């Protein structure tokens, strides 16, 4: 009986364990953050479309308060904040910043870097923001969109990366680039026309971050129920809406009401 030939160890594939490095910090807003989550109504329509999508002629096309409250991601009752931001949005920002960096690519950064969590707490005081926008249809139809905006904001985060390929300095520099040239949220730098959602990276001990993080869940709960106006344009638009609704007697699509200031 022939004995088996000894195995040549040099032919075996050797895979080393990844060196995963974790960095904790906080993103501090350098420009206001516009939140724009998909509304519950839109999700329901996608999940189970109605037979007739058009509103009845007697109903309003817009309800600013409903749109404002539907534009945010919300955390559970035991979370430190009411408002949240998707961790995937921060990762996409980092990946996009890699397009302008040397010796790397968007796909490579997507494989080597990730942000822990699904939804991260967002600190800051929410306000109502109304502005003209162009829709995504073929005619780029002009419309008024109402969203939640945070003039000053902070997002604590934990970022992980493969330490065999990247180092902390490179990752933080890339995140800093993302904060300036890409941003997060609506009307961000990446889209070209806006400069909202810009941020800087700081340690959790940063005094500015600590001041913003005092505006936690209680402040946000009140801000969602009775929001203040982000600017005079929003205040003027909302006041006109309320006055015109009362004059025309148009049906409202929500029971929530707020008197114009």
- Name the token pair of 36: 């724009």
Q: What is the mean pLDDT of residues 82-104?
A: 96
Mean pLDDT of the chain: 87
pLDDT (average), residues 219-232: 97
Tens-place pLDDT, residues 18-65: 999 999 999 999 999 999 887 666 666 655 666 554 444 456 678 899
Residues pairing with 35 in the sheet: 148
> At 215, is the pLDDT very low, low, confident or very high (cuts 50, 70, 90)?
confident
Residue range 70-77: mean pLDDT, rounded: 96
The pLDDT of residue 7 is 59
Mean pLDDT of 152-170: 97
Stronger pLDDT, 182 or 62, i.e. the higher one? 182
Report the percentage of the chain scoring pLDDT > 70: 83
Higher pLDDT: 107 or 14? It is: 107
How sure is the predictor about 260, in pLDDT bands with cuts at 50, 70 and 90? very low
Give pairs for 71-77: CB < 8 Å, separation 24+. 71/35, 71/36, 71/37, 71/39, 71/146, 71/147, 71/148, 72/35, 72/37, 72/126, 72/148, 72/224, 73/35, 73/37, 73/119, 75/119, 75/121
Distance CA 190, CA 180 (A): 9
Averaged pLDDT for residues 250-261: 47
pLDDT score at 134 = 80
Q: Looking at the predicted structure, is the pLDDT value of residue 196 above 80?
A: yes
């Amino acid at each position: 009986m022939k004995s088996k030939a000894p195995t040549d160890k040099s032919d075996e594939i050797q895979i080393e364990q990844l060196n995963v490095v974790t960095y904790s910090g906080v993103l501090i807003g350098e420009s206001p953050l516009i939140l724009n989550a998909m509304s519950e109504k839109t999700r329901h329509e996608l999940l189970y479309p109605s037979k007739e999508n058009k509103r009845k002629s007697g109903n309003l096309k817009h309800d600013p308060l409903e749109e404002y409250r539907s534009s945010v991601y919300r955390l559970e009752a035991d979370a430190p904040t009411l408002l949240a931001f998707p961790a995937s949005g921060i990762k996409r920002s980092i990946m996009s910043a890699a397009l302008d960096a040397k010796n790397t690519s968007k796909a490579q950064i997507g494989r080597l870097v990730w942000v822990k969590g699904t939804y991260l707490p967002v600190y800051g005081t929410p306000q109502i923001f109304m502005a003209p926008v162009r829709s995504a249809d073929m005619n780029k139809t002009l419309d008024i969109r109402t969203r939640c905006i945070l003039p000053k904001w902070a997002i604590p985060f934990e970022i992980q990366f493969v330490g065999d390929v990247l180092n902390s300095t490179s990752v933080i520099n890339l995140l800093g680039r993302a904060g300036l040239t890409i941003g997060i949220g609506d009307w961000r730098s990446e889209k070209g026309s806006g400069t909202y959602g810009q941020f800087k990276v700081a340690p959790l001990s940063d005094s500015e971050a600590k001041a913003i993080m005092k505006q936690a869940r209680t402040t946000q709960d009140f801000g969602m129920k009775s929001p203040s106006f982000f600017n005079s344009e929003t205040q003027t638009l909302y006041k006109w809406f309320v006055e015109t609704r009362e004059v025309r007697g148009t049906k409202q699509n929500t029971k929530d009401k707020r008197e114009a200031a």
